[in-house]
Structure 1
Amino acid sequence: MIRFTIFPRLHILPGQKANPYIHDFVTSLEREGVSKVVNPPHKNPLLSLLPPKNWGDVFIFNWFESIPDFKYGPLQSVIAICFVLLLKSNRRKIIWILHNKKPHAGGHTRLKRFLTRFMAKKSDLILTHATEGVEMIRTHYPYAADKIHFLHHPTKNRLPESSNEMNPEYDLLIWGSISRYKGVLEYLTYLRENPQDLKICIIGKCSPASLADEIRCIAPKNVTFICESPSFEELARYIRHSAFVLAPYCPESVLSSGILMDSLSFGARVIGPDVGSFKDYACEKRLKVYTFHHYDEIGQIVAIHKTDPVSQESYRKFLEENDWKHFGDRIIELTKSIH
């Protein structure tokens, strides 16, 4: 039985919505009964790891380089560094999952760079969900090149019974938690300066909340903005009534994208920046993923590919090959290869 400790494992309060990645990760590791996650959810996911009772044989760190953005981030970063050194002295194995080129939030730049370099050096295994992540490690941290592995971002099969409508209500759907790094304001600014005959729907809660007012002020008349977080059932309906899901992300920090994978799980056509997973899946013939370098290419993609047929069978095969069960199996297999 392999014992895992996963960071961060937050305690989610009733009524709260959170990124399901960690919950699904834990479930995938415990599904077959050959491994167990020993640390329970906690309101402080770092400090909760300090008691040895929460120590597994293998520690999996997600978003380690973003610890400076936590409350008392610089102090927690020092604790995290010392803790990793303690784990290494106790011969625990460390897996670092590289999700982004750099943390999305600004500030503490030097500290975040140090933490990235630190984990590249101290980890026994590095995993990333985009081939660009592999290139990043090999280029900037060549001493860690033999530790980096690409694994598809795991996904689920939520395909509808029939294909999306051929005459959708919206050309573009932008959905999910809306943060500044996601480029929504930049794209709306572009649309105001370059009016286009596109019907666009934006649905999602904003962080910070003031971002919603900025969107309302700048959004052209052809943009519908719904400031709420849809359920997956509601999201399925919005995707079914949209020709494309658009991720207008600023490309500086993005590698993999949960929005991309969740959209594909519904059988969506997706448009995103020519980086990371978007670039990878634009080359995947079974999927309909299109990439842009500049915003003016988005309208062209819609015009050319709006009626491209989506093969549900091709999507289904891709989704099932890269579901959470297979992901958990691959993590366990790679863990066993650590010497």
Structure 2
Amino acid sequence: MPTFTVFPNIKPSSGGKGNPYISDFISAINNEEGCKVVNESHKNPLLSILKPSNWGDIFIFNWFESIPDFKYGYIQSVLAILLLFVLKIRHKKIIWVLHNKKPHQGNKRQIKKIITYLIAKESDYIITHASEGVRLINDRFSFTAGKTFYIDHPTKNRLSMITGMSLDKSYDVLIWGNIIGYKGVYQYLKYVKEENVNDIRICVVGNCTTPQIAADIKSVASKNTTLILKGASFEELAEYIASTEFVLMPYLQDSILSSGILMDSLSFGAKVIGPDTGSFRDYAMNKDLNVYVFNEYKDISNIIENNRGINISAEKYSEFLEKNNWKNFIGKALNLINTSVTSCR
């Protein structure tokens, strides 16, 4: 029976929920007959998998190139590099899931370049959730050609949660999720205030990752912006999305490639506006979905004006969500490595 090690399997802090992508990934593997994830969640996900008892036949690394941003990042980076070499000596299969063009934090660039090169070189397979990711990594490292694959970011079908909800729209755009620098929330709200964009009703729902970010957001919020600076449950999000014309992701384009928030928004049947890059661009070309892309913030107003009141096709959305659910994602991933996991399928 093939076994798996999934990184980073971070143990949630008290009262926290951990990364839903990782927990869903692990559950989907464990739900496959004959497959098992052997490493338990841990407060330090890298140190925990240095133990051979936590080694599966196949290692799945997510955000490996961001290890330098961990606490004691340089030390952990050295340990990560040594681990890669040991795993190759022990003939372990390595899968790297590429989520971003580059780490969102721009510091420690040299060590990040080294780690990115090594994980790209030593991986047996690379999975990315945007077609741009395949071109990006193959252009950067020619040796990755033939082992890099685009598989849609897995999602869930939550359309039933908005069934029967009021169609009255209290807001034009909803911005939701943890508020971090690369997501461009401050920059967009600043643009709206400075350019006197008064015809867009904006609702921002999410935790600010630092008090300074919260202060910055409040300083640029205009009178047509509602700030709810706290997390929301999926039940609450269903209500926000049902009462909003569009979900807006004003992300900065330099690092973003794929987005869990994009997929979660689609899972509720949202019309989505995002940057013209990565999976946003992929889904803007999908006629079954209502995804729109911008290059400059001024484009957002035109998108809203031209697509206000358009209804989605619940049937087409449902087909897309079922096609790209977690079970099917794991099936596609396992088929890439079927020589190693034939007893899983």
TM-score (norm 1): 0.97
Alignment check: 8 A CA contact 2:273 2:293 kept: yes
Superposition deviation, residue 19 in structure 1: 2.3
Q: Which residue of 2 aligns with 1:61?
A: 61
Superposition deviation, residue 149 in structure 1: 0.4
- Residue of structure 2 aligned with 1:202, choices 198, 201, 204: 204
The answer to whether the aligner puts 1:98 opposite 2:98 as a matched pair is yes
SS in 2 for 1:110: helix
Alignment check: 8 A CA contact 2:165 2:239 kept: no
Per-residue CA deviations over 1:103-156 (Å, capped at 9, x if unaligned) read 011210111111111111110000000001001012111111111000000000
Alignment check: 8 A CA contact 1:204 1:230 kept: yes
Superposition deviation, residue 51 in structure 1: 1.2
Gaps of 5+ in 1: none
Q: Which residue of 2 aligns with 1:122?
A: 122
Q: Which residue of 2 aligns with 1:240?
A: 242
Per-residue CA deviations over 1:177-223 (Å, capped at 9, x if unaligned) read 00000001110111112122110000100112321111111111100
**Cα distance in structure 2, aligned partners of 1:320 and 1:76:** 38
Q: Which residue of 2 aligns with 1:184?
A: 185
Amino acid at match of 1:295: Y
**Cα distance in structure 2, aligned partners of 1:336 and 1:99:** 23
Alignment of 1:1-339 (within 5 A): 1-160=1-160, 162=163, 166-196=167-197, 197-337=199-339
Amino acid at match of 2:108: H
**Cα distance in structure 2, aligned partners of 1:200 and 1:289:** 18
**Cα distance in structure 2, aligned partners of 1:327 and 1:2:** 18
Superposition deviation, residue 337 in structure 1: 4.3
**Cα distance in structure 1, aligned partners of 2:167 and 2:10:** 41
Q: Alignment length, in residue pairs?
A: 339
Alignment check: 8 A CA contact 1:166 1:307 kept: no
Decide whether aligned partners of structure 1 residues 109 and 192 sit closer, same or farther in structure 2, where only a CA change above 3 A counts.
Answer: same
TM-score (norm 2): 0.96
Alignment check: 8 A CA contact 2:104 2:182 kept: yes
**Cα distance in structure 2, aligned partners of 1:24 and 1:67:** 21
**Cα distance in structure 1, aligned partners of 2:28 and 2:75:** 32
Per-residue CA deviations over 1:277-335 (Å, capped at 9, x if unaligned) read 00000011110000000000101000000111201000000000000011111222212
Per-residue CA deviations over 1:36-85 (Å, capped at 9, x if unaligned) read 00111111100101111111001000000000000000110000000110
**Cα distance in structure 2, aligned partners of 1:163 and 1:108:** 50
**Cα distance in structure 2, aligned partners of 1:105 and 1:263:** 25
Per-residue CA deviations over 1:224-281 (Å, capped at 9, x if unaligned) read 0111000000000000000000000000000000010000000000000000000000
Greater alpha carbon shift after TM alignment, 59-68 vs 32-41:
32-41
Alignment check: 8 A CA contact 1:60 1:97 kept: yes
SS in 2 for 1:171: strand
Amino acid at match of 1:191: V
**Cα distance in structure 1, aligned partners of 2:251 and 2:339:** 36
Percent identity, aligned pairs only, is 51
Superposition deviation, residue 164 in structure 1: 7.0
Decide whether aligned partners of structure 1 residues 15 and 211 sit closer, same or farther in structure 2, where only a CA change above 3 A counts.
Answer: same
Amino acid at match of 2:312: V
Superposition deviation, residue 338 in structure 1: 6.2
Superposition deviation, residue 165 in structure 1: 5.2
Alignment check: 8 A CA contact 2:3 2:36 kept: yes
Gaps of 5+ in 2: none
**Cα distance in structure 1, aligned partners of 2:281 and 2:46:** 33
Amino acid at match of 1:117: Y
Amino acid at match of 2:320: F
State the Cα RMSD in Å.
1.3
SS in 2 for 1:146: coil
Amino acid at match of 2:296: H
SS in 1 for 2:263: helix
